């Protein structure tokens, strides 16, 4: 169900939605009281019932009058609360009821969130508000809402601060110090791009494109130049092709060298999918690291996902095959398979990955449906080399870039997109589950030059 239909349902008028509140002792033998005491007791019960109904009426009115944004709704839900207590759960239940979310799904959402709070030992609203908003955005299909996109843009922009020091601020300085777009300007622009880890070939191509654009559009103003440059950067990123959703389970094969954050990325992907209502299984295909198997199992438990493993040293292709059997048998919607990343034995590694793909395709034609490469955004030009290596070996469908927050080497994203022409689907902007976010080339270009 989409965002506007949810607003429509929240806004609709009709019968009161508050539930009847049972009176104390209802259905049990009641001791006979004198008439005066009975009248007082009845008055107190009526007052309790009115109060229980009043908070729902007040909450519904506040939600109706609020700006139709998830953050505004959450402000109202959390008003006057400091800790996670029964009032928070009652208000969330009422919100879901108002949005006509099925009761079982609403209860499941709240139960999962309560468990997460216990696991994280969080109590204060300030500790978990952001995670709650993220979960609600996914569960209610509101991630594309303007307010949520603005929240993501701010996070992306903040995460790119070090990269902006290397790129956008230097470009601003160049524009201020230059009297025009002469040979010296273009030479210095190319140098700025190369130093920001954009890469030599990509930097050269970008400079040539901007030279042509400045000439054809007769650009002379620094702001007009930045706007044109932002558009040029945004156009570098290839869109993810539209695919027909496969019959479940959809299979994602994650590849990448050790140490790039592959395991935590898998956990965050599982978390996202769970919040979107999918039944998810994780498979420990990196059988060469016993610690890796244990780590993925812990993440699977935290994310509430199913888990499949074999003993350390087992054939990774056998793990993938048996996990696929289990996912089919148990009606999972999504199977995410972890793999080894021992780059020092890259020939054997690529052969293993190809074998896994053959085995999966034999069991379910078309599987794996997505081969996802995970790379570390702090690695600079090494990322381009890794992307080239894995793409030549196993045909990568999409890329996830981790650790983008806090790196001065974010410009490498431009090099990957232009040279490899592989869609970037997610970026990691922190350690929390909510910090793996869908990638937008337009937002990245805007954040980079803001």
End-to-end CA distance of the chain: 34
**Residue 50: which pLDDT band, with cuts at 50, 70 and 90?**
very low
What three-state secondary structure class fits 291?
helix
Q: What are the pLDDT digits (tens) for 116-145?
A: 888 888 989 998 898 888 888 888 777 666
Provide the pLDDT for residue 46.
46
Instruction: Please identify which residue in the block is written with the tokens 């894995």.
Output: 390
Q: Cβ distance 299 to 282 under 8 Å?
A: yes
Q: Cβ distance 446 to 230 under 8 Å?
A: yes
In terms of DSSP H, where are the helices of 99-221? 103-120, 125-139, 146-159, 161-166, 168-177, 183-195, 200-217
**pLDDT over 50 at 163, yes or no:** yes
As given in the structure block, the two tokens for residue 246 are 């496969």
Which of 29, 23, 22, 21 minimizes the C-alpha distance to 56? 21
CB atoms within 10 A of CB 254: 25
Provide the pLDDT for residue 187.
93
**pLDDT over 70 at 422, yes or no:** yes
Q: Cβ distance 324 to 281 under 8 Å?
A: no
- Strand 306-308 and strand 280-284: the pairing is parallel
28-42, 52-66, 201-215, 388-402: segment of lowest average pLDDT? 28-42
Q: Cβ distance 352 to 387 under 8 Å?
A: no
Which of 340, 353, 448, 346 minimizes the C-alpha distance to 404? 448
Q: Cβ distance 372 to 319 under 8 Å?
A: no
165-169, 273-277, 420-424: segment of lowest average pLDDT? 165-169
Q: How many residues does the chain have?
A: 450
Give how far Cα 355 sits from Cα of 315, 321, 339, Å: 10, 11, 12
The DSSP string of 139-155 is HTT-TTSHHHHHHHHHH
Using the 8-state DSSP alphabet, how is residue 367 labeled?
Answer: -
Q: What are the pLDDT digits (tens) for 237-293?
A: 887 777 778 889 999 999 998 888 899 999 999 988 888 888 999 999 988 877 888
Q: Cβ distance 346 to 354 under 8 Å?
A: no
**Residue 54: which pLDDT band, with cuts at 50, 70 and 90?**
confident
Q: What are the pLDDT digits (tens) for 297-333?
A: 998 988 889 999 998 888 899 999 999 999 999 999 9
As given in the structure block, the two tokens for residue 241 are 């092709």
Nearest-angstrom CA–CA distance, 408 and 279: 37
What three-state secondary structure class fits 399?
strand
Which of 387, 414, 428 minimizes the C-alpha distance to 262? 428
Torsions phi, psi for 372 (to 5 deg): -110, 120
Q: What are the pLDDT digits (tens) for 329-348?
A: 999 999 999 998 875 555 58
**pLDDT over 70 at 23, yes or no:** no
Using the 8-state DSSP alphabet, how is residue 80 labeled?
Answer: T
Provide the pLDDT for residue 346.
57
Q: Is 153 left (phi over 0), alpha (psi -120 to 50) or beta?
A: alpha
Torsions phi, psi for 159 (to 5 deg): -65, -25
**pLDDT over 70 at 13, yes or no:** no
């Amino acid at each position: 169900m989409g965002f506007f239909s949810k607003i429509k349902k929240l806004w609709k008028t009709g019968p009161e939605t508050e539930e009847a509140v049972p009176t104390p002792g209802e259905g049990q033998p009641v001791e006979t009281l004198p008439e005066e005491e009975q009248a007082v007791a009845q008055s107190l019960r009526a007052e309790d019932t009115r109060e229980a109904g009043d908070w729902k009426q007040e909450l519904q009115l506040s939600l109706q009058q609020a700006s139709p944004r998830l953050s505004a709704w959450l402000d109202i839900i959390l008003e006057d609360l400091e800790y996670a207590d029964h009032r928070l759960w009652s208000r969330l239940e009422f919100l879901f009821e108002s949005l006509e979310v099925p009761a079982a799904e609403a209860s499941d959402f709240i139960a999962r969130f309560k468990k997460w709070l216990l696991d994280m030992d969080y109590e204060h609203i300030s500790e978990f508000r952001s995670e709650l908003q993220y979960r609600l955005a996914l569960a209610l299909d509101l991630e594309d809402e303007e307010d949520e996109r603005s929240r993501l843009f701010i996070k992306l922009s903040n995460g790119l601060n070090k990269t902006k020091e290397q790129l956008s601020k230097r470009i601003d300085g160049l524009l201020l110090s230059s009297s025009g777009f002469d040979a010296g300007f273009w030479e210095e622009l190319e140098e700025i791009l190369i130093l920001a880890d954009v890469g030599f070939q990509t930097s050269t191509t970008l400079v040539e494109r901007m030279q042509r654009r400045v000439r054809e559009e007769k650009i002379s103003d620094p702001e007009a130049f930045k706007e044109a440059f932002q558009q040029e950067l945004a156009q570098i990123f290839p869109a993810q092709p539209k695919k027909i959703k496969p019959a479940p389970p959809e299979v994602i094969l994650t590849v990448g060298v050790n140490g790039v954050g592959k395991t935590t990325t898998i956990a965050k992907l599982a978390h996202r999918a769970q919040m979107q209502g999918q039944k998810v299984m994780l498979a420990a295909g990196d059988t060469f690291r016993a610690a890796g198997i244990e780590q993925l199992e812990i993440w699977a438990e935290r994310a509430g996902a199913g888990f499949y493993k074999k003993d350390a040293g087992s054939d990774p292709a056998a793990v993938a095959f048996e996990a696929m059997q289990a996912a089919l048998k148990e009606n999972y919607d999504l199977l995410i398979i972890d793999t080894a990343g021992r780059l020092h034995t890259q020939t054997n590694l690529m052969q293993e990955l190809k074998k896994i793909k053959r085995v999966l395709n034999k069991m379910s034609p078309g599987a794996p449906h997505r081969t996802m490469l995970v790379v570390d955004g702090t690695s600079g030009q090494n990322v381009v080399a890794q992307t080239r290596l894995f793409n030549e070996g196993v045909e990568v469908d999409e890329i996830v870039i981790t650790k983008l927050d806090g790196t001065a080497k974010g410009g490498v994203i431009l090099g990957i997109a232009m040279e490899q022409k592989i869609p970037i689907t997610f970026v990691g902007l922190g350690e929390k589950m909510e910090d793996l976010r869908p990638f937008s080339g337009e937002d990245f270009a805007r954040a980079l030059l803001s």
